Structure 1
Amino acid sequence: MLRARFLILLVTAVAACAQGKLPADYDGYVRRAMKEYGVPGVSIAIVKDGATVLLQGYGARAEGKPGAVDPDTVFGIASLSKAFTAAAIAMLADEGRLGWDDPVVKHLPWFQLWDPWVTREITVRDLLCHRSGLPPYGGDMLSFFSPVPREEIVRRLRWLKPESSFRSRYAYQNNMYLAAGEVIRAASGVTWDEFVARRIFDPLGMKRSSTSIKNFPPDGNVAMPHAKVRGGQQLIEWPNWDSTGAAGAINASARDMAEWMRLQLGAGEYRGKRLFSEASSREMWTPHTITPAPRIPPGARLPRPNFTAYGLGWALFDYQGRKAVTHSGGLTGMTCRLLLLPSERLGVLVLTNAENPLHYPLIYRAADALLGLPETDWIAVHRDAQRRTPERRFPARVEGTRPALAPEAYAGLYRNPMLGDVRIERNEARWRLRMEGLGPEAEAVMEHWNYETFRLTWKDPTWPLTNLVFQLDSQGAIEGARMEVAEPADPSFDFHNYPLERVHAKK
């Protein structure tokens, strides 16, 4: 008996020793990473066993301007919003106001996709796990870069052609989350914004969080986005991302997000109060869609997970023998990531005001230390992997070509039922293109590139160079055009999903 007690004490002691702590130089490591990745400001929250391990801001809210980042600085959390949407659905499911496997049309009779069978069969669960069959990031030009209302965006999804069969493979789909937001409104009687504020922000004390850039805290403690622009990085004003809604519209501070991590690690319970059931927590963290294994360049020393999947609002994989629950987020000028290791009751959040993967080395350096694992210089590992990753190549310009038609032949009105009207005008020997339904930023100067391809340079410098390729019929008349990015770009610039048809004037 004494020997058994001794062994129990010994095992307990070994387990306790295995639990590490943040290295003394972690602040220095953060600052080194910020310098190497060129990030002006970072805010980090780490919770372990219900306690706060770290809550710290670093750097500036705006590069070259006064105002330091602190734990209360508000950032856009982008797709970390999806887990909030899944939690809202979970609450309504717990209350019997909807079911995970309810057909979407039960709550949104007007909902329609390209395929009538998919329209009938798609469920609330399907909206949350990226298996709709729609193209990855399809429709994002409307939800991320336009003032089109959320319900109208969802209504226009009927014109988005699927890329694969229903439930056959993973394809990340923001607009299915917009549809989930509309389901929440139908089932609860309040908007997604109101539901998240009342049922999640308020109980967690997330006082600085909002679902609109119009509701920032009045004290001005808000990080400014720094976007990738050709040849460098540029401080920009906050774009209006409100149309992203249930897919990505939440803004929050690290302090607020620490409470969100406590709720998640508590399987829906927070400070003695249950917001959603333990069964719903398991549902959200259960693999629903197998995701492709990460493409790791040959020779890179990045972790190679044994499984990768998507649950409901969360990405799932294994790390050092432990189940990991995570999500990243990215908007113009901001990126972030949250990692949960539920078996260790550990959560790590990194918010940044620039467009790069700085969060990667900071999260894994902290997680390894707190798990008592050997030290790895994740900055060096990740930078090495970046160098080994081949860049996407784009076709070179073919010199000496001319368009087939006279300049005035290309001017006129073009249309896509999802995107709306696109107008091309020629004045003073210059072409201009305007996507009339997407706001003032969706305007470009157009110049001939080669053959029937024209190059678009957008008014908004954060938009990528784009090619517009005209298509001629058998008589040599323009019947339509298609767009495609002409340089590396965020996948939400999904120009290729909107073939344009020439609209001829009525005779």
Structure 2
Amino acid sequence: MTSSINSRRLKVAITALAAVLVVSACGDDNESAAPQGDFSGPPPADSAVAVSDAQIKDAIDRVPELADGILSKTKIPGLAVAVVHNGEVAFAEGFGVKEVGKDDRVDADTVFQIASLSKSVGATVIAEQVGKGVVEWETPVRQNLPSFTMSDPWISDHVTIADMYTHRSGLPLHAGDILEDLGYGRQEILNKLAQEPIEVANFRVHDNYTNFGITAAAESVSAAAGTDWATLSQNSLYGPLGMTNTSSRFADYLGHTDRAIPHTLVGEKYEPRFQRDPDAQAPAGGVSSTVNDLAKWMNLVLAGGEHNGQPLVEKEPLVAAFTSEFVNGPGQNTEFRSGTSGFGVNVSTTSSGRVINSHSGAFNLGAATNYVMIPSLNVGIVALSNAGPIGAVEALTAEFVDLVQYGEITRDWVAAYAQLTAEPAEGELAGKQRPADAAPAGPLPQYVGTYANPYWGEATVAAMPDGNLQLTIGPDRVQYPLSPWSGDTWTFIPTGEMPNPGTVSQATFDGNTVVLEYFDDNGLGTFTKMG
């Protein structure tokens, strides 16, 4: 149907042929017999590690123990877990509370923000549209979204839906995400991506994770379908599948009385301080759902697009999304297995030799989610939590996958994922103390004024009664107190979804310009005083 699917078939054929050649070469040259068996298709999904139904059942029976253990070890407020097996929902329950300080318990119908699990769910929506002939995975984004532009004209015309869903567009890492923190809307952010420097050498070669690349692709698909993304998702997937508590609209999440409240870690306690509105990047991170609903989605994927014995999503484009398209995590040496991605889906091979599909989701402002599916065993697990990412949900699903495959937990996954998800503070001055011999700042009036930037918009710097400055920027008029560091260099603490804890940014004034370090990752952080 698409060139990516055809190329995948070619790779499968080459792999199967190579297997036949190896078998043939093992015998005597003069007396080698023809290999026995059916070699017309791809290599089988068999694993050297056998797994019985009883072992899977035992793993499912231990899920409450695993969930309680995660709550005890990590102190996150609440989570919900569902497991599917052989087309049935084998387990679905909630644990802990929806909000710290209140008694309302999480259940299997509690609505969570699922963050980047939205990418895999959205890929299923697109697969449904590919099956209907509305688009193909290799359709250029601009074909149905001509307003979308990138800074490289050729890439702008040729970047496809598949390129965006494998993060291989050449856009810089997290392009557009900080704009969302400042209050810019979806269309404004997509328009501003035209100013992002393109890493031409990375196009279709290396990946940079970009939520708004995914969003641009989804917008192109919904435009081809003649509707908006949230409506398309509802009509093509959520409604037909009976996902009654799932939506791609933030307002619907807020409208649920049975919803999990986001929490962030303050000191050693979780507090419900923030509420993320992800509508601007809804296709990439804006879905809200329940484990009961996501169990239906996992069963659909594991059944090759069938629901209640009837095809809901055509199998071929769905398989294209959930199989290896691109090596996004090459092995560090010859002993390591490489990680790959499909379209909005991670595809990897476990130590038992089984292929798994997975994805995590995270809001620093208070959500962490993960699913893992093992197609060869027709089993899947999803875990949703109402706390920022510390590896808790990934540890839970990893423990379950261990029990399914080996009958035992192979390592301390809580500690492993805690280390993996810990993000370092950013900024040249992060963790440093102001020098004792710091040069004095200039008179405040020399810094005060309105500064313009074509990407970030206007920023104002105002003098405050305490003798410091305040930076205000973006449609939401986000305010950052500026503190003197040395001479014309001031500092501020970035806020919102994107900065890691402990991040410190410099604001360096030089005549009529100021460079804001936090906003300068891609060389776009120079602001010029107006008037």
Query: What range is the shorter-chain TM-score in?
Result: 0.7 to 0.9
Specify whether residues 16 and 31 from structure 1 end up closer, same or farther in structure 2 by C-alpha distance, changes over 3 A only.
closer
Larger CA deviation: 495-504 vs 382-391: 382-391
Moved over 6 A (4+): 388-391, 459-462
Note the C-alpha offset of 1:502. Answer: 3.4
Describe the superposition over 1:190-239 as per-residue Cα deviations: whole angstroms up to 9, x where unpaired.
10000001111111111111122311375611000002446653212422
Q: Which amino acid aligns with 1:140?
A: D
Contact 1:205–1:256 under 8 Å retained in 2 = yes
Specify whether residues 14 and 462 from structure 1 end up closer, same or farther in structure 2 by C-alpha distance, changes over 3 A only.
closer
Gaps of 5+ in 1: 1-12, 297-303, 485-493
Note the C-alpha offset of 1:420. Answer: 1.6
Contact 2:177–2:498 under 8 Å retained in 1 = no
The alignment status of 1:151 with 2:183, answered yes or no, reads: no
Gaps of 5+ in 2: 1-49
For 1:101, the equivalent position in structure 2 comes to 138
The alignment status of 1:446 with 2:482, answered yes or no, reads: yes
For 2:403, the equivalent position in structure 1 comes to 369
For 2:354, the equivalent position in structure 1 comes to 322
| SS of the residue 1:282 aligns to | helix
| SS of the residue 1:321 aligns to | coil
Specify whether residues 459 and 349 from structure 1 end up closer, same or farther in structure 2 by C-alpha distance, changes over 3 A only.
closer
Q: Which amino acid aligns with 1:106?
A: Q
Specify whether residues 352 and 385 from structure 1 end up closer, same or farther in structure 2 by C-alpha distance, changes over 3 A only.
closer
Describe the superposition over 1:431-474 as per-residue Cα deviations: whole angstroms up to 9, x where unpaired.
1111132x14x2111111235432214676996543123153xx
Larger CA deviation: 272-281 vs 33-42: 272-281
For 2:128, the equivalent position in structure 1 comes to 91
Larger CA deviation: 209-218 vs 455-464: 455-464
Q: Which amino acid aligns with 2:530?
A: A
Contact 1:470–1:478 under 8 Å retained in 2 = no
The alignment status of 1:160 with 2:196, answered yes or no, reads: yes
Q: Which amino acid aligns with 1:74?
A: V
Note the C-alpha offset of 1:84. Answer: 2.4
Identical-pair percentage: 25
Note the C-alpha offset of 1:139. Answer: 1.2
Contact 1:423–1:433 under 8 Å retained in 2 = yes
Note the C-alpha offset of 1:367. Answer: 2.0
For 2:474, the equivalent position in structure 1 comes to 436
For 1:500, the equivalent position in structure 2 comes to 525
| SS of the residue 1:326 aligns to | strand
**What pairs up with 1:230-245 in 2 under 5 angstroms?**
233-245=270-282
For 1:335, the equivalent position in structure 2 comes to 368
TM-score with structure 1 setting the length: 0.85
Whole-angstrom distance in 2 between the partners of 1:62 and 1:111: 40
Larger CA deviation: 283-292 vs 247-256: 283-292
Specify whether residues 284 and 259 from structure 1 end up closer, same or farther in structure 2 by C-alpha distance, changes over 3 A only.
same
Contact 2:119–2:285 under 8 Å retained in 1 = yes
Whole-angstrom distance in 1 between the partners of 2:118 and 2:437: 49
For 1:466, the equivalent position in structure 2 comes to 504
Whole-angstrom distance in 1 between the partners of 2:374 and 2:72: 28
Whole-angstrom distance in 2 between the partners of 1:453 and 1:231: 33
Specify whether residues 505 and 155 from structure 1 end up closer, same or farther in structure 2 by C-alpha distance, changes over 3 A only.
closer
For 1:5, the equivalent position in structure 2 comes to none
Q: Which amino acid aligns with 1:216?
A: Y
Whole-angstrom distance in 2 between the partners of 1:272 and 1:385: 38
Note the C-alpha offset of 1:146. Answer: 4.1
The alignment status of 1:121 with 2:158, answered yes or no, reads: yes
Contact 2:123–2:343 under 8 Å retained in 1 = yes
Contact 2:367–2:385 under 8 Å retained in 1 = yes
Contact 1:131–1:168 under 8 Å retained in 2 = yes
Contact 2:215–2:282 under 8 Å retained in 1 = yes
Describe the superposition over 1:286-306 as per-residue Cα deviations: whole angstroms up to 9, x where unpaired.
32222125889xxxxxxx861
Q: Which amino acid aligns with 1:402?
A: A
| SS of the residue 2:212 aligns to | helix
Q: Indicate which of 216, 221, 230 corresponds to 1:179.
A: 216
Note the C-alpha offset of 1:133. Answer: 1.4
RMSD: 2.8
TM-score with structure 2 setting the length: 0.82
The alignment status of 1:307 with 2:338, answered yes or no, reads: yes
| SS of the residue 2:58 aligns to | coil
Whole-angstrom distance in 1 between the partners of 2:163 and 2:120: 14
| SS of the residue 1:496 aligns to | coil
Larger CA deviation: 53-62 vs 416-425: 416-425
Note the C-alpha offset of 1:359. Answer: 1.0
**What pairs up with 1:266-305 in 2 under 5 angstroms?**
266-293=303-330
Contact 1:444–1:457 under 8 Å retained in 2 = yes
Q: Which amino acid aligns with 1:430?
A: N
Contact 1:88–1:184 under 8 Å retained in 2 = no
For 1:223, the equivalent position in structure 2 comes to 260
Note the C-alpha offset of 1:159. Answer: 1.0
Describe the superposition over 1:39-84 as per-residue Cα deviations: whole angstroms up to 9, x where unpaired.
1001000001112221010000001212000000000001111122
| SS of the residue 1:499 aligns to | coil
| SS of the residue 1:71 aligns to | coil
Specify whether residues 426 and 498 from structure 1 end up closer, same or farther in structure 2 by C-alpha distance, changes over 3 A only.
farther
Specify whether residues 42 and 495 from structure 1 end up closer, same or farther in structure 2 by C-alpha distance, changes over 3 A only.
farther
